[in-house]
């Protein structure tokens, strides 16, 4: 039997259970089953006698043997029923056993005056030592129990922790071929447990020591395979031939009329990008920079390099709002040149699409900016030389690859950008295949945004401050997490907010923007706010990116505890884009979870996106930060980027030797 065999072929699983595991947990093969790791392990404490039970064991899982004196169904005063058993030892000290579910089937498993060895968490119920829902165990049962993340549907069909433990026991009684997938010399050098032993010990631990060794082996394997794959990808990029772009005539002309000074960080990054584009190798670079750090100017200068050398540029962004924002800004920046820029989104009409496609193929269009619409197979370029992807984490791995591979034999240079700074540990591991450029300096004149946390009791104070800013002629954002009411969570919604704000600021022109609006209405409202016709913008997170209103000085985020840390930082970046002092007000109720309070405190204390991103990763983990779209890279099942950082550094050095990178 090998790892690719289906579960049904094992004869341990019937067809129904095999299908359930496939549909609920995506477990289809033996490999899937073995790599479905427990989320926790609990070491059971063996108690020799009931007389040894004491308060120190409450909350622990214990194993104990005794005679079942009686077992009966008890009816409470509220006519609810539970099953009660009394386990006695030779000392006649009692241990209460309680079941609240499946009473009829449980009572058939036990007989009075019989001896049982049971396991369960010790608690106190009605002043008596109690085990709720105990499990009968055999003498050869493992001392350390594995627990798995299971759905309610699986549990209802009998696939629970006990069932899975039994299945893993049966699987390892079979003859399974589990080949090694790490170089033998590394296994020997780092004293790694064999892959077979590691799988067995992670599911059926024989001791705490062997469990620890199994985790170490499986973490090493996971991190090694992930980084090896990325280094191979990096090598394929660095060895692949790219367009040589040495002409910078348009860039020089742009510098002559530049109305502001580039920061040193921008100049450094531009040199790194230009070096790639003229090297003869294909560029694969990630540009990260905080909100407002000037990534768009860097992207535009990169475009000018490509156009100077006779190539076209495609820029893909996740939303129509951001696409339109980039289109307007880049059109404005390029008006001094003979450059044709077009916009392609889901709202583009069929006739417009056909014309754009025709002009792209003929080479009339120099720059095309759009959303996922750029992935349409009908689009053909005359000479696509540069692909820029903004807010890269919003796109899947395959989507990014498809756009970069759209051009015939030679693939275009690729620049991906993010305004969500990537934690150093994540960059070291998840972005190995990219060269990374960082803009770690804000342009002159950008002031630090003052962030404060107000509870609901401070609402009138917040309204008073907003009124002061409006009186100064400034504009204000109010951002809400929901459009309509939700029965499940008690939070203010955008429509209620509109009514409250209308009452608080009578006669004030207000815009409303949310994701359910049609694009034309959304654009109309955003444009009214941009040109100053409206002074207050009430919105959902559609304004997270792509809105640039220098006169807006206040960002009020309602129910701020309902937003992620990176999202809060992005929203804060919508203000402070002009020369005026700007503010971010985080509104919450008094009751906050520990993690929510940590997020709010981090926002108040720190303004640097790189610091924020590191805190965010510690709170949420790498997988959540990267998002579902990046699951091709971050499918870590057992390793942890933060905890296993030292191991990653060791593996990275070993892979460099193997790949000779």
Domain assignment present for residue 646? The answer is no
What pLDDT sits at residue 398? 55
Contact (Cβ atoms closer than 8 angstroms) between residue 419 and residue 391: yes
Burial grade of 22 (CB within 10 A; 0-12, 13-18, 19 or more): middle
Q: Are 75 and 32 contained in the same domain?
A: no
State both tokens at 100: 């609240």
What pLDDT sits at residue 632? 43
What pLDDT sits at residue 579? 81
Sequence-distant (≥ 6) Cβ neighbours of residue 527 within 8 angstroms: none
Asked which of 566, 586, 606 is the last residue of a domain, the reply is 606
Which residues in the chain come in under a pLDDT of 50?
Answer: 487-490, 624-633
Q: Are 567 and 474 contained in the same domain?
A: yes
Q: Are 12 and 121 contained in the same domain?
A: no
What pLDDT sits at residue 631? 40
Q: Are 26 and 91 contained in the same domain?
A: no
Q: Are 121 and 256 contained in the same domain?
A: no
Beta bridge partners of 539: 479, 513
Domain CATH for 307: 3.40.50.300
Domain assignment present for residue 160? The answer is yes
Percent of the chain with pLDDT over 90: 41
Q: Are 331 and 427 contained in the same domain?
A: yes
Q: Are 3 and 98 contained in the same domain?
A: no
Domain assignment present for residue 411? The answer is yes
Q: Are 86 and 34 contained in the same domain?
A: no
Angstrom distance (rounded) from CA 27 to CA 318: 32
Predicted TM-score (pTM) of this structure: 0.68
What pLDDT sits at residue 630? 43
Angstrom distance (rounded) from CA 59 to CA 72: 25
Structural domain of residue 115, as residue ranges?
Answer: 45-142
Domain assignment present for residue 206? The answer is no
Beta bridge partners of 596: none
What pLDDT sits at residue 622? 58
Q: Are 92 and 163 contained in the same domain?
A: no
Sequence-distant (≥ 6) Cβ neighbours of residue 289 within 8 angstroms: 265, 295, 417, 419, 421, 438, 439, 440
What pLDDT sits at residue 628? 40
Number of domains in the chain: 4
Domain assignment present for residue 253? The answer is yes
Asked which of 416, 439, 462 is the last residue of a domain, the reply is 439
Q: Are 367 and 509 contained in the same domain?
A: no
Q: Are 435 and 459 contained in the same domain?
A: no
End-to-end CA distance of the chain: 37
Domain assignment present for residue 638? The answer is no
């Amino acid at each position: 039997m090998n790892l690719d065999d289906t579960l049904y072929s094992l004869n341990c699983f019937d067809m129904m259970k095999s299908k359930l595991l496939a549909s609920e947990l995506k477990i289809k093969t033996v490999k899937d089953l073995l790599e479905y790791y427990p989320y926790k392990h609990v070491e059971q404490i063996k108690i020799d006698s009931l007389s040894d039970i004491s308060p120190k064991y409450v909350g622990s899982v214990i194993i104990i043997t005794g005679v079942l004196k009686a077992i009966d169904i008890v009816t409470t005063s509220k006519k609810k029923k539970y099953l009660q058993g009394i386990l006695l030892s030779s000392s006649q000290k009692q241990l209460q056993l309680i079941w609240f579910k499946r009473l009829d089937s449980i009572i058939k498993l036990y007989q009075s005056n019989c001896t049982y060895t049971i396991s369960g968490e010790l608690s106190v119920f009605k002043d008596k030592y109690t085990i709720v829902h105990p499990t009968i165990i055999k003498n050869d049962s493992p001392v350390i129990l594995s627990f798995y993340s299971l759905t309610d549907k699986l549990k209802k069909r009998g696939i629970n922790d006990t069932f899975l433990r039994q299945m893993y026991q049966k699987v390892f009684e079979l003859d399974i071929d589990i080949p090694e997938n790490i170089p033998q010399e590394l296994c020997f050098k780092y004293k790694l447990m064999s892959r077979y032993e590691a799988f067995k010990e992670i599911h059926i631990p024989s001791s705490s020591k062997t469990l620890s060794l199994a985790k170490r082996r499986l973490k090493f394997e996971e991190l090694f395979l992930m980084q090896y794959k990325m280094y191979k990808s990096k090598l394929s990029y660095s060895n692949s031939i790219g367009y040589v772009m040495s002409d910078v005539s348009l860039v020089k002309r742009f510098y002559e009329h530049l109305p502001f000074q580039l920061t040193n960080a921008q100049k450094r990054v531009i040199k790194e990008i230009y070096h790639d584009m003229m090297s003869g190798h294909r560029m694969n670079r990630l540009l990260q920079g905080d909100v407002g750090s000037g990534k768009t100017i860097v992207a535009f200068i990169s475009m000018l390099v490509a156009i100077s050398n006779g190539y076209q540029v495609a820029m893909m962004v996740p939303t129509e709002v951001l696409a339109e924002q980039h289109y307007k800004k880049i059109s404005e920046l390029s008006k001094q040149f003979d450059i044709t820029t077009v916009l392609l989104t889901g709202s583009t009409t069929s006739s417009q699409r056909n014309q754009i496609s025709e002009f792209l193929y003929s080479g009339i269009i120099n720059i095309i900016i759009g959303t996922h619409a750029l992935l349409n197979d009908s689009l053909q370029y005359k000479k696509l030389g540069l692909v820029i992807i903004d807010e890269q984490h919003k796109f899947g791995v395959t989507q990014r690859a498809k756009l970069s591979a759209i051009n015939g034999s030679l693939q275009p240079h690729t620049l991906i950008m993010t305004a969500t700074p990537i934690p150093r540990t994540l960059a070291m591991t998840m972005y190995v295949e990219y060269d990374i450029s960082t803009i770690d300096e804000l342009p002159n004149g950008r002031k630090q945004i003052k962030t404060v946390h107000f509870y609901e009791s401070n609402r009138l104070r917040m309204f008073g401050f907003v009124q002061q800013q409006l009186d100064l002629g400034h504009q204000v954002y109010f951002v809400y997490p929901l459009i309509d009411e939700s029965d499940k969570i008690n939070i203010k919604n955008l429509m209620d907010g509109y009514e409250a704000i209308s009452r608080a600021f009578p006669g004030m022109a207000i815009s409303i923007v949310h994701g359910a609006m049609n694009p034309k209405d959304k654009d109309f409202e955003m444009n009214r706010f941009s040109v100053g016709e409206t002074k207050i913008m009430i919105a959902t997170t559609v304004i997270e990116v792509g809105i640039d209103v220098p006169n807006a000085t206040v960002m009020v985020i309602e129910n701020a505890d309902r937003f992620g840390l990176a999202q809060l930082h992005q929203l804060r970046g919508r203000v402070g884009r002009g020369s005026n002092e700007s503010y971010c007000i985080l509104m919450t109720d008094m009751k906050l979870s520990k993690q929510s309070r940590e997020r709010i405190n981090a926002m108040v204390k720190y303004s640097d996106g790189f610091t924020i991103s590191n805190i965010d990763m510690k709170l949420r983990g790498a997988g959540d930060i990267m998002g579902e779209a990046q699951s091709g890279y971050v499918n870590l099942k057992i390793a942890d980027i933060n905890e296993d950082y030292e191991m990653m550094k060791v593996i990275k050095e070993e892979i460099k030797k193997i790949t000779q990178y």
